[in-house]
Amino acid sequence: MEVRMIQSSILVVDDETRMRKLIKDFLMAKGYQILEAEDGEKALEIYEQNQSKIELILLDVMMPKLDGWSVLRQIRQTNKTIPIIMLTARGEEQDELFGFELGVDEYITKPFSPKILVARVEAILRRTGKEESSIKNYDGIEINKEGRTVSVDGKPIELSLREYELLAYLVENENIALSRDKILNNVWNYDYYGDSRTIDSHVKKLRHKLGKKGKYIKTMRGIGYKFEVK
């Protein structure tokens, strides 16, 4: 698995591919960047290479090579504050007490509702003061939500208010195919009685202003658009 360096992220550690994908899809839909590891050893490797960028860890207990408890112990030796949520198939009180003694912030038993998991992630990040940065970087496209500014590879670009809102909406829904109607309703609001051609026109201008990075706005034939960095 490639270790990808990004601005800030949540590390999801689980040996089940399907479980990682489920968690990843729900968190990315909320605008979070995700790093993945399929076992304890890989988790520590990714953590060491990206620890300044990781804001929270979702950590499965039962895994090959190194279990979750071993990973937790090693991380807590050098970092006492990073929020860690343990995921486990067990629900016994003794296991939960053991986890809290080792420094677990939250304990979620499988199976769980992905929506509840996302809500707990957001609650912990708010509580620890580590909610996602107002500055997000998508492979060189940097968006400052507070300043409402955009730069590409460090160079500021001028966007109209609607172009900025369109880009912000696309990146907030990264990897999700968005219909023209949905974009129209969310960016132009429900009281706008235009047609989808105005979206196509704005996307064309936006791609031009983003230069080579404009390719990340994909046209989904018969649907609309999707922002995808590959």
Strand ranges, E, within 61-188: 84-88, 106-109, 135-138, 141-144, 149-152, 155-157, 178-179
Q: What percent of the chain has pLDDT over 90?
A: 43
CB-based contact 228:175 (threshold 8 Å): yes
Per residue in 158-201, pLDDT tens? 998 889 989 999 998 888 899 988 888 888 764 455 567 788 99
Per residue in 56-84, pLDDT tens? 999 998 888 898 889 999 999 988 889 99
| Structure-derived torsion over alpha carbons of residues 95, 98, 102, 105, reported in degrees to the nearest 10 | 60
Looking at the whole model, is its pTM more than 0.85?
no
Average pLDDT, the chain: 84
Residue 2 has pLDDT above 50, yes or no: no
Query: What letters, b where the CB count within 10 A reaches 16 and e where it falls short, cover 207-225?
Result: bebbeebbebbeeeeeebb
Per residue in 123-162, pLDDT tens? 888 776 655 556 788 889 999 887 889 999 999 999 988 8
Residue 212 has pLDDT above 90, yes or no: yes
Q: Which helix (H) or strand (E) holds 69?
A: helix 68-78
Residue 43 has pLDDT above 70, yes or no: yes
Q: How far is CA 209 from CA 38, 141, 149, 206, 215, in A?
A: 38, 11, 13, 5, 11
Q: Which helix (H) or strand (E) holds 198?
A: helix 197-210
CB-based contact 106:127 (threshold 8 Å): no
Q: Which helix (H) or strand (E) holds 227?
A: strand 224-227
| Cα separation, 159 vs 162, whole angstroms | 8
Query: pLDDT at position 54, please?
Result: 92
Domain 135-227 architecture: Orthogonal Bundle (1.10)
| Cα separation, 207 vs 29, whole angstroms | 22
Homologous superfamily of 9-127: Response regulator (3.40.50.2300)
Residue 93 has pLDDT above 70, yes or no: no
| Cα separation, 119 vs 74, whole angstroms | 27
Sequence-ordered list of residues with C-beta below 8 angstroms from that of 98, at least 6 positions apart, any chain = 69
For the chain, which residues make up each domain, given as ranges?
Answer: 9-127, 135-227
Instruction: Give the residues across from 47 on adjacent strands.
Output: none
